[in-house]
Amino acid sequence: MTKNISIDSTGRYLSEKHMPPYLLNKNFDIIKSRINRIDIINKSLNTALKQLKPDSIDCFNFSDAPEWLNEKDYHKLFEETLRVGRPNSMVLILDCLVDTFVPNKFKKNFILNKKLSKKLLKNSMSPFYKNIKLYRLIK
């Protein structure tokens, strides 16, 4: 699949096949019917995670947010994710500017799925991410 850089240079998608599913007209009614499932939280990632109950989340998509954290907050992100994540949760991190890593303290809890991570990167339509890492949370 070709990376879609036209959206960045022209402000338009090349065609519908290059659009993410949530932008397709055929999916509008489905999304509209489920809009009440979305909670918008305007807080730092760690503050939001800290307010959640233990073992309450089964899927995390941090995009490239870990790249923007200082070292203390970066380690806290893994600590809070481990606390609020359910066993076998999936954790997705996308590398844009730097190669993220799992701090040594948490390596036994965040197991990288190398095969699926490579497949996700290959099939990604984003031109920005140089790496996609999908971890399984082991407790």
DSSP symbols for 21-71: GGGSGGGHHHHHHTGGG-----S-HHHHHHTSPTT-EEEEE-TTGGGGS-H
CA 29, CA 9: separation in Å to the nearest integer? 30
Full-model pTM: 0.79
| Residues 4 and 111: beta-carbon distance below 8 Å | no
- Nearest to residue 85, comparing CAs of 49, 112, 117? 49
Query: Mean pLDDT, to the nearest integer, of 72-88?
Result: 97
Query: Exposed e or buried b for every residue in 108-121, given b needs 16+ CB within 10 A?
Result: ebbeeeeeebeebb
User: Which of these ranges, 20-34, 47-61, 123-137, has the smallest mean pLDDT?
Assistant: 123-137
State percent of the chain over pLDDT 70. 93
Mean pLDDT computed over every residue of the chain:
90
What pLDDT was estimated at residue 4? 55
Instruction: Tell me: pLDDT of 1 over 50.
Output: no
Model confidence pLDDT, tens digit, residues 129-139: 889 999 999 99
- Looking at the chain, the whole-number percentage of residues with pLDDT higher than 90 is 67
Domains and CATH numbers, the chain: 1-38 (no CATH), 43-137 (3.40.50.150)
Q: What is the pLDDT of residues 3-16, one digit of tens each?
A: 555 566 677 777 88
- H or E segment and range at residue 136: strand 131-137
